[in-house]
């Protein structure tokens, strides 16, 4: 059974040769806010924000991005580059009839949101990224090769890029995968205080490194895990994993917009127990974010929060979003 949230409506739209699903709340005549999820997530990740934004006077639209949940999943790996994903957002907004919009992204959705703002400041009123900051293009070595050399092939990106491997591991027991993913990267997992590099055990699978929780944290219920499991029944995990399989391709394509500044108001939200914060190079990047991006407001760091920002801390995130959106030029 598909997930249900009271007050949220569901629609599909034909864009770029695909049928994409989105969940929405709030009147169609209100300012538009587009919400972009990460991996392994879907529209349901924004269940708390959809309602809060609607109550705050906005039209909130949470897209199932290509490859995920109820949206189409192209078979070709190369169909999941950042330009493809930005193109989906722009086409969606056009179909919704909005002239301008704000965009909010979490995890993989954050790079899509940042790049949408960079490439289309004529359309984007403001941008919020959670967990993943705006990342400058750096280095002479493609990222996957760099991580492979640094961690002996054990960094989770490299594991996710092995054809069919993670797909089979997660697909064999989706409920187990979601339970371990969501608890494992959360601020409630004591292993994330402080967070460590997400490495796959030698000879094992990704989920082998994550203990089964004895009980779920307060922000996560068995119904939530069942909802994610149901939403993934159609497409499984391969579409989302194909985003990782384009990391090097995105690095190559990124030469076209290297150094292009974010020109619209921007906000970065993270948790102090988010594993992204300890990725290689983050110790230098995070303190320099505002120097590199002058329109970026001071980072909002949520104490005790792990990777699942808007799910772990919905009240604080909702308040921050309403405050940020309320300050945007009309």
Work out the average pLDDT over 28-53: 98
Chain segment 278-310, per-residue pLDDT in tens: 999 999 999 999 999 999 999 999 999 999 999
Chain segment 114-168, per-residue pLDDT in tens: 999 999 999 999 999 999 999 999 878 999 999 999 999 999 999 999 999 999 9
pLDDT band at 1 (very low <50, low <70, confident <90, very high): low
d(CA 134, CA 68): 23
pTM (2 decimals)?
0.98
* Catalytic sites, residue numbers: 107, 307
pLDDT at residue number 138: 81
Q: What percentage of the chain's residues is helix, strand, coil (to nearest 5)? A: 45, 15, 40
pLDDT at residue number 156: 98
Q: Domains of the chain by range and CATH?
A: 9-326 (3.40.50.1820)
Angle between helices 222-231 and 174-184 (to 10 degrees): 120
d(CA 197, CA 234): 31
DSSP assignment string, 263-305: -S-EEEEEETT-GGGGSTTHHHHGGGHHHH-TTBPPPEEETT-
pLDDT band at 3 (very low <50, low <70, confident <90, very high): confident
d(CA 33, CA 11): 16
The candidate with the shortest Cα–Cα distance to 106, out of 245, 260, 327, 302, is 302
pLDDT at residue number 223: 96
Chain segment 215-257, per-residue pLDDT in tens: 999 999 999 999 999 999 999 999 999 999 999 999 999 999 9
Chain segment 79-89, per-residue pLDDT in tens: 999 999 999 99
pLDDT at residue number 4: 84
Q: If DSSP codes are grouped into helix, strand and coil, which group holds residue 106?
A: strand
DSSP state of 317: H
Percent with pLDDT over 70 in the chain: 99
The candidate with the shortest Cα–Cα distance to 113, out of 60, 37, 30, is 37
Determine contact, residues 119/49, Cβ cutoff 8 Å. no
Q: Round the average pLDDT of the chain to a whole number and report it.
A: 97
């Amino acid at each position: 059974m598909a997930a249900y949230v009271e007050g949220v409506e569901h629609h599909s739209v034909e864009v770029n040769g695909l049928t994409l699903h989105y969940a929405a709340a709030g009147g169609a005549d209100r300012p538009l806010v587009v919400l972009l999820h990460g991996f392994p997530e879907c529209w349901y990740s924004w269940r708390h924000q959809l309602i809060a934004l609607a109550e705050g006077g906005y039209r909130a639209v949470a897209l199932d991005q290509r490859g995920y949940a109820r949206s189409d999943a192209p078979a070709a790996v190369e169909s999941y580059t950042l330009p493809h994903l930005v193109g989906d957002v722009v086409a969606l907004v056009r179909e919704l009839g909005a002239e301008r919009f704000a965009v909010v992204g979490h995890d993989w959705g954050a790079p899509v949101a940042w790049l949408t703002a960079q490439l289309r400041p004529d359309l984007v009123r403001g941008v919020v990224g959670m967990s993943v900051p705006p990342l400058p293009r750096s280095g002479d070595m493609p990222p996957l090769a760099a991580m492979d050399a640094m961690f002996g092939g054990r960094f989770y990106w490299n594991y996710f890029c092995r054809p069919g491997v993670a797909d089979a591991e997660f697909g064999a027991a989706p409920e187990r995968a979601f339970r371990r993913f969501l608890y494992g990267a959360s601020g409630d997992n004591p292993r994330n205080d402080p967070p460590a590099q997400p490495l796959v055990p030698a000879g094992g699978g990704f989920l082998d490194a994550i203990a089964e929780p004895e009980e779920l944290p307060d922000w996560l219920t068995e119904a939530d895990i069942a909802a994610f499991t149901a939403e993934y029944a159609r497409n499984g995990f391969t579409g989302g994993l194909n985003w990782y399989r384009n990391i090097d391709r995105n690095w190559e394509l990124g030469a076209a917009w290297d150094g292009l500044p974010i020109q619209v108001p921007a906000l970065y939200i993270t948790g102090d127990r988010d594993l992204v914060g300890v990725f290689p190079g983050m110790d230098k990047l995070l303190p320099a974010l505002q120097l590199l991006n002058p329109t970026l407001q001071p980072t909002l760091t949520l104490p005790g929060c792990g990777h699942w920002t808007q799910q772990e801390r919905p009240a604080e995130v909702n308040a921050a979003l309403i405050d940020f959106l309320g300050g945007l030029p009309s």
